[in-house]
Chain A
Amino acid sequence: MKLITHNMLTSKCLKGVLTGYPLAINATNIKINEVDFNPDFISRIIPKLDWEVLWKAADSIGHSEGLPQTIEQNYDDDKEFLKKAHRVLLEVEVEEGYLICPESGRQFPITKGIPNMLLTEAEVQ
């Protein structure tokens, strides 16, 4: 699971859960996977992100180094910044671990980098 995905993912499909966001991460194995840098994509995606959630998620798994806690206004021109954002969003991957619903405490296992968001029949809304 990449952190861009974590930034979008919720547990709101659980019965009784309202927003289910952000999910806490407990990572036991993290991998770095190189991806081609596309500055256009990164600048386009930034306004859609919850930056604070991204920063905290990166920090909680030990990968916030060099990542600013808030975004500067002219971030599109700052190549160094875009590269760091690229690395954190697309290259850092949680391989093993689990996600935790902030409202219910329900855990969703991550295996081989894939979060298992399947619900039991009783959990479906």
Chain B
Amino acid sequence: MSKLELINIHKSFGERKVCSGINLTVNDGEMVCLIGASGSGKSTLLRCMNLLEEIDEGEILLNGEDISLPGLDPQQIRQQIGIVFQSYNLFPHMNALENVMLAPRRTHKRSKDELRPEIEELFKRFGLADRMLNYPDQLSGGQQQRVAVIRALAMKPKIMLFDEITSALDPELVAEVLDVLRQLHREGMTMVLATHEMSFAKELADKVCFLDAGEILEEGPPEAIFSNPKQTRTQAFLKSVL
């Protein structure tokens, strides 16, 4: 059971306001898609959710508890909220298995032998069992991104965040990564993703939020947003990408 609520989130970089009063609820097992032009604040919002950025104002409730309060241990919280980035960010000096094992080994204080079966299981689940011992530069972009997803999942997070994880991929590799998201959605993972894949959002999202200049201008089920947008800015954005 996991539920994430953002209440009145504000965030600026110096003079530049990047989130101005964002409210968002992600229910257990839901997939919420953030769409919006480049620079509208999608990445920043995701980074705030797992405390990579500190918010200026507002509350971030994970199952009802405010995780944004100063003084809480950010490491402890990040272990419960996984994030995958556009540029994979695998550790180049470790093979896929070591990439995945590092965090559980260090933070959960579990030995390699103890972890190995469940990690292998994860690789199998996402069709990468034969790639475990490859280094990142021996993997395709799609495979690297799937390893990055596995690495985040190995921490057994309650929520997963995805920041345009297919944007850096060659077109023919996008599908395999989207399949991983489909699978996670089926398995009941609660997730928030910033995406440019509109057809994917249309197909799977429970809720779509259109971000514009740091605000959620419009939100609703994908049918409503995509076929019948209310705001002219949403209409213009959708027209430009579809």
**B and A form one assembly:** no
Instruction: List residues of chain B with CB under 8 Å of any chain A CB.
Output: none
Instruction: List residues of chain A with CB under 8 Å of any chain B CB.
Output: none
